[in-house]
Structure 1
């Protein structure tokens, strides 16, 4: 374990942008939900009716989990965050642990560090400690946000503790997945698949066989019943599972060579395909598997969210909200507003794919692969254009899939497709900034995550935080037309598309003039 503290400091320094952006964004979501729910239901009867309506929809229960105590404002406020947003907490730990374990081995840096006076388990320990510290900090901030918005102290603390617990479980899943394959990308798929299975088991348990919900950490957040008659003992399950996963990972790690995985690598063909003769084909070959996985996931989310839209009228059919619904134009207009809200949330998730494509290009440059490609008859402009196409075109394709899947789930026209595509120029602007950061310096590409977090905070939750209009306008998401709830306007869309084009062109020119690496 020698050198764990030094490696931890180094890891924290490398993640000085990524972790704060992730933590602050999730905390902002907690504050926004806690602050917005109370004023929406001014009586306990309205809260109970809304919670019962949530429980009456199998699609909503599958997505968010049930509301066990229908009279609890805290549980109603944190319904989405208890289960659905806990997935993002787990992914935060997966990203951290994978980055400082398998990615380091794949690049060869782990072998260099291991050749110094550093213990063999120091790198794994540092990654796990960092993930645990980030989870604890996130749990504290989430609890503080709930308390600041007037929710009960005890329930807020237990809710924050459940997020901390799911974070350390995510770290355990990641460190175990890191022993499976020598490819960091495969490790990401294995960890994502494990989280998806655990979430699916929870969804099946909450809608049919309830005992299944007790078998997955994503079900414990609900079964904890943090806001009414809490089962505090259930919190002990998170560290137990995390320790079991870590112990299994260390046992497997002792049986493999550094840089290798438990599953043997499959030998590739002796000759590369003729289709990979240029940078464009190579980049799309690299991103193809990821894009396929994202397509399936986004399609599933779209169908599930689309199936919720028709029941929104029942969820908000209260004496206090009925005049608001009527003033908006009735239940149909309310459903259109929900389509807009869902499209904006999914657009942020899809932007993550685009930024990951840019940061992968930065990783290729760090590891010398870009320099190898440029040693052939390949121009720098061709490399950046290929990366930009994977990021922008791939994200646009996912927006189309999201809209089509939502329309399929709703079963009432193609309006969701238009709502999804309306988000495209805003996504392009964010990705254009990420490409510009890459073109200035490869190590700056990771700041694209901070840009996305800032835009989401301003565009998605800024209004609920009463931020001034000029500050909200900094986010491109703030200018997206609220189609189909409102008439479509071309001016902001064209302006953002032109801005994105300018950013990409500037990035291409800057990339051609700087040193590689």
Structure 2
């Protein structure tokens, strides 16, 4: 038996388990560029329209948000609009797939059972990378064919599809290395996700400042392949080399650790618990503190970078009215700068909601791992245990948004010489997103209470919110469709009048969902694995 024995059998198993999940990812990522291009063909039918909007998109604030525009064409505009979003989503799909079929399988003990059969040491990792590669190949081909079907040049379409697939595979290999470092799937996802967030910030800073920083970011490489703007095919070599480095590291680290263990050894706990662990809330703090700290740093940096970039939006000369309308629909109606800031904090709210979902679903993770069964055998009640986690999901998100608002207010206020006034405004713009994030927490709690095996659908609700926020205004979707996401009901601050009614309704919906979930949790059997 060699180290790859059983790879194909594991790959077939992974494809069967993920047949619905990966199909949705692949089709969604393939359709978005095609739909964006089709809509831009309607919005900008003439060369004059394209030249007018290209002047607008050179503004540093918009470059920080979506990158530079390399080609004055429908294809170039499509790559600018959807490129960064595609890269982030395909990276998430890839790293989550690799973590799910490697570290998660180890953490649950299923891989130990499989390894008792004729399965080589490297087979699980190879199967996960193979399945992810097939998904990325399908995305690459479908994006290229879809864009060509709209009438765009073949070379640019192939470059955009290839850039998307290569970003996905690079982050698959990042995850392949990350899963060797820690014994927890959650921690491995956090490490790979932190790398992804760091690359986005590097690209945003590099595209508006020192250009070399953008070349340190894989999302920047994807843009610098220049689809529809004089394609740079050699950039693909950067992806191949760096992916090979991470993949090699992943395989090397597999040989240096025991099954179920991580290379970073976990510290053994004391024989007797400290006084600070005498309550469910104290235990929840111990479980959530690392995640909360990491997200706090990430949101502070994001708020500072985007707040600093917002000052340049006021320099737009004769902005294209259709672009202004899109920005206004995304956030606010009182000035382009306020509309930009409202759009930025709308995105920040959705980003913070990823922490909300992650913290809420920690309850399900504790249950499926069997740890909660031991805890509930003591005097701890189910509601007390669940409430201790929800405290960090709800108040932790409030902390993240507050930090992002203050950081953005400081950065933007320093640019316009009004720190005192802008900190308060942008703090409000950030915190007004909170009830929408709480709705996702309520949804996750309800699923844990009534359909625990479907709790991961909370992530699907978040992804739907991302897609509607990013593409809803561009596609001119019906308001009833846009209203499917709670973030569509958030007052667009700054720039619009604050209205209390939607905030109250979102809070009530979150409370009802949460209460229903807790009631279901109290009555159902535990654990459900």
Q: Report the TM-score, using the length of structure 1 for normalisation.
A: 0.88
**2:14 is the counterpart of 1:11:** yes
Contact (CA 8 Å) 2:59, 2:316: kept in 1 or not? no
Partner of 2:355: 353
**2:459 is the counterpart of 1:449:** yes
Residue of 382, 385, 388 corresponding to 2:384: 382
Distance 1:12 1:432, change over 3 A: farther
2:522 alignment partner, SS class: helix
C-alpha distance in structure 1 between counterparts of 2:500 and 2:333, whole Å: 26
C-alpha distance in structure 2 between counterparts of 1:128 and 1:245, whole Å: 12
Cα shift at 1:489: 1.7
What runs of 5+ residues in structure 1 fail to find an aligned partner? none
**2:97 is the counterpart of 1:93:** no
C-alpha distance in structure 2 between counterparts of 1:344 and 1:81, whole Å: 17
Contact (CA 8 Å) 1:28, 1:457: kept in 2 or not? no
**2:110 is the counterpart of 1:109:** yes
Residue of 483, 489, 492 corresponding to 1:479: 489
**2:169 is the counterpart of 1:159:** no
C-alpha distance in structure 2 between counterparts of 1:515 and 1:322, whole Å: 53
Distance 1:456 1:68, change over 3 A: closer
Residue of 337, 340, 343 corresponding to 1:341: 343
Partner of 2:134: 133
Cα shift at 1:266: 2.6
1:401-440 residue CA offsets vs partner (Å, 9 max, x unmatched): 2222222232152322222222222222222111111111
Cα shift at 1:509: 0.6
Partner of 2:514: 504
1:272-322 residue CA offsets vs partner (Å, 9 max, x unmatched): 222222222222221111111111111111122222323223346247669
Contact (CA 8 Å) 1:50, 1:316: kept in 2 or not? no
Alignment of 1:324-339 (within 5 A): 333-339=335-341
C-alpha distance in structure 1 between counterparts of 2:457 and 2:325, whole Å: 41
Alignment of 1:5-44 (within 5 A): 5-15=8-18, 18-19=21-22, 22-23=25-26, 26=29, 30=33, 34=37, 44=47
C-alpha distance in structure 1 between counterparts of 2:66 and 2:193, whole Å: 19
Partner of 1:230: 231
Q: Report the TM-score, using the length of structure 2 for normalisation.
A: 0.86
Partner of 1:435: 445
C-alpha distance in structure 1 between counterparts of 2:274 and 2:35, whole Å: 50
Cα shift at 1:194: 3.8
Give the total of aligned pairs.
513
Cα shift at 1:83: 4.2
Contact (CA 8 Å) 2:333, 2:496: kept in 1 or not? no
Contact (CA 8 Å) 2:357, 2:393: kept in 1 or not? yes
Cα shift at 1:364: 1.5
RMSD: 3.2
**2:374 is the counterpart of 1:365:** no
C-alpha distance in structure 2 between counterparts of 1:175 and 1:111, whole Å: 18
What runs of 5+ residues in structure 2 fail to find an aligned partner? none
1:433-481 residue CA offsets vs partner (Å, 9 max, x unmatched): 1111111132211111122233444455334434433333333222222
Distance 1:306 1:41, change over 3 A: farther
2:352 alignment partner, SS class: helix
Partner of 1:267: 268
Distance 1:186 1:427, change over 3 A: closer
1:188-208 residue CA offsets vs partner (Å, 9 max, x unmatched): 343334445555555565456
Contact (CA 8 Å) 1:63, 1:84: kept in 2 or not? no
1:158-178 residue CA offsets vs partner (Å, 9 max, x unmatched): 112101001001011111122
Partner of 1:488: 498
1:450 alignment partner, SS class: helix
**2:77 is the counterpart of 1:76:** yes
C-alpha distance in structure 1 between counterparts of 2:264 and 2:58, whole Å: 43
Residue of 416, 423, 427 corresponding to 1:417: 427
